[in-house]
Structure 1
Amino acid sequence: MLDIVIENIMCDHPIKVRESILIGSVAHLLLRHQINGILVVKDNDENKLVGVLTTTDLLRLVNAALCRRTQRLKAIKKVGLMKAGQVASKKVFSLNKHDNIMKAVVLMHRKNIHTIPVYDKGKLVGIIGKHDILNIALI
């Protein structure tokens, strides 16, 4: 299993959203496609990554809204109106499509991340998530 390269198990047609899309729309995409993370790209360049937005990020926002003492419903609705580029994790770790699966596992474990963009020669070519690795390792 250690000789498996990322290219063979990654999603090579990742769902990307533009940085100006509303969080409510991102949440809908994540739920509809049953994925945990999505790539946020520049409005004018779908190959220029702004960040990664995950279900964990969205839950963090909802939790912050629910922790308010007053106007919780209004705060939650405001979350849905935020833009993906405002919320996406900007500190993004990435992999090369020729890296092996072990590098992905170590990176996910050490950095506590679950969704990693994949590049080849500087171009965004895919995404790998914890489910991709678990599918190949355990099933």
Structure 2
Amino acid sequence: MAAQSGKNMLLKLDQTGSGSFLTVAGLRSRALAFNATTVDTTDQESAGRWRELLAGGGVKRASVSGSGIFKDQASDAMIRTLFFGGTIRNWQLIIPDFGTVTGLFQIVALEFSGDHAGEVTFDLALESAGELTFTAA
């Protein structure tokens, strides 16, 4: 994968649950992290008392975060509505020349900040709420 412009990494929200995705406008930064917990199966007979793990065990999860400025009334209103309702929706994170991650996420943090001489900004955090799919570009 060649170098890509960060502005081409898009976060999209399924507005109504019908598969109609809306780009979250005004985002200046976006990040995606995958994590997995392990299941430790070490016992007194483990070779050399080295830790042993259960293959395929544990819980997988993904976190998405972003920050930006208010720019699009429709996506701003939808994000606020989903957060305050605790609603789980389909989201997509499109990574240029890599692929698209799609799945259920819940907004778990929504922060607002502003400087006296600057614009109001927001920070957004999502946590996966089910199995994700990956489609290569």
Q: TM-score, normalised by structure 1?
A: 0.30
The structure whose RCO (Cα within 8 Å, separation 6+) is larger is: 1
Structure having the higher strand fraction is 2
More helix by share: 1
Give the structure with higher Rg (CA): 2
